[in-house]
Amino acid sequence: MNNYTTPPYSGSRSSTNTGGFYGGMRKPAQSPVPVAPQENKQTDFLNWFIPLVGIVLAGLSSYFLTLMAVKSEISENKAEISVAKEKINNLTSKVGGHDSDIKQINGLSKDLAVLSERVNSIEEKNKK
């Protein structure tokens, strides 16, 4: 430990211990040690406990409020889905009856194509 009364750059040294300087910087006489009494720990705990309980309660209340809103939206969506499903089933039953009609139309169009081909062949025979 170097205790100087003159600055370290001056070239001269003095070994007098004044306790004021340490390496060109002022050194504290005593290092303060914070001492907390027991009752201060209790108030410190309360200062942290009350805001933490408030944060937890705010989080729980916002969670349940959001949960209630989401549940109501889910029930609305279920109702809309059931209405749409019923409409789809109704339309499917109506379209299902027309499948046989479509098959008949396809058969008739084939028959019509065969008949028109026969007419064309008869016309060609008559032209010769």
pLDDT at 67: 95
Q: How many CB atoms lie within 10 A of CB 4?
A: 19
pTM over 0.75: no
Looking from the CA of 121 toward its CB, the CA atoms found within 13 Å total 6
Domain boundaries, the chain: 21-27+40-127
CA-CA distance, 97 to 103, in Å (whole number)?
11
Tens of pLDDT, residue by residue over 41-97, are: 777 878 888 899 999 999 999 999 999 999 999 999 999 999 999 999 988 887 777
